[in-house]
Amino acid sequence: MVPDSPVYLDHAATTSTLPEVIDAVVEQMGRLGNASSLHGAGRTARRVVEESRESIAADLGVRPSEVIFTSGGTESDNMSVKGTWFHHHETGTGRTRLIVSGIEHHAVLDPVEHLVTEHGAQVTYLEPDATGVVRPETLEAALQEHASDTALVSVMWANNEVGTVQPIAELAALAREHGVTFHSDAVQALGQVALPLGEVDADLVTVTGHKIGGPMGVGLLIAGRDQNPVPLTHGGGQERQLRSGTLDTPAIAGLAVAVRRAVAEQEIHAKTMIHLRDRIIQGALDLDPTIQVSGPWEPGDGIRRLPANAHLRVPDCDGDSLLYLLDAAGVQCSTGSACQAGVPQPSHVLMAMGVDEPEARGSLRLTLGRTSSDADVDALLEALPGAIDRARRARGATRKSS
């Protein structure tokens, strides 16, 4: 039976905006003022921006001067990767290499590829283990060989597809020990796992708003005071001259509200998500023991795996078929596979973890958020058997016709 309203299980893509965030945004949108102007209205807008910066810094355990406002995760990742590489290129340090994990978001991988193809950068990819973990010894081996010519190490805090949480403190400490700048994309981590930025040796950290109930189109680059990436945009010199452009005061005010709530409620939120996630995974395995769980998983674990992420690989199914069949049944989710130029591709994350291509194509990512409930899980588990059966029959028919 199709639920009365769609069941949304794609919170890793984006999640609903918190009511108090909407209130904060609307309040500021009703006010006039550019935060770079010197008159009264401008100073009022600037005060909102700086108070938001201080609030975010306090919540994340960093200095206000380290909080750089951006348009979101993609821009922050590009600033980190390109900006740091160009800094070394322009200052002639000889550091032309990037060390990145093979399971990064395309917001990191594509800038790396751009630097390789257009500017002659070199790259070393860190291979994860079968659960998606980048082992410290893997990074250590790469740094032993390449530390002297490496501009940046980038390993995401938690994977957006399979939910694996990385040993970031150890990885960042290794980079610091070898004198190499360390960047981490923490877009999926904030609000789900502890994010002790003040205790971790990460030089650059990416965060965005719309994954935690904040506005779309606003995010952060947490940049250590000794970090000087080359700006990708030039103009007014805002944000430590790293990111020119008129500051979006309403979105920044909303982001500060979302960050405060994400940090304050992280532990209780994680417990609720773990309960629902484990129901999804165990329910799917009970339905079909041939289904595989991607990434590390033990019931109750919110340390090695994101609390809100369930990633399944369903044999003899195409993930896209499962997605559309579940959508028709009123359940919205994701395959976790990337679409480039309109052509479905097997997940680069799963391929890097050693999953073969046919199995990687049968992936399903189910991610939870604050609005998720046991009723949502019930609806999914009710719809899943029929979707799997029809997807398998469709694949079988395709094979026969070919």
Question: What amino acid positions are annotated as catalytic residues?
Answer: 339
Q: 223 and 69 in contact (C-beta within 8 Å)?
A: no
Burial class for 106, CB neighbours closer than 10 Å (0-12, 13-18, 19+): middle
Q: Measure the CA angle with vertex 154, ends 150 and 160; round to 5°.
A: 160
Closest to 213 in 3D by CA, of 8, 22, 2: 22
What's the half-sphere exposure (Cβ side, CA atoms, 13 Å) at 326?
28
DSSP classification of residue 368: -
Residue 16 tokens, joined: 């609903």
Q: 254 and 56 in contact (C-beta within 8 Å)?
A: no
Distance between CA atoms of residues 16 and 374, nearest Å? 18
Q: 350 and 326 in contact (C-beta within 8 Å)?
A: no
DSSP classification of residue 206: E
Computed over its alpha carbons, how large is the radius of gyration of the chain? Answer: 22
Dihedral, CA of residue 198, residue 199, residue 205 and residue 207, to nearest 10: -70
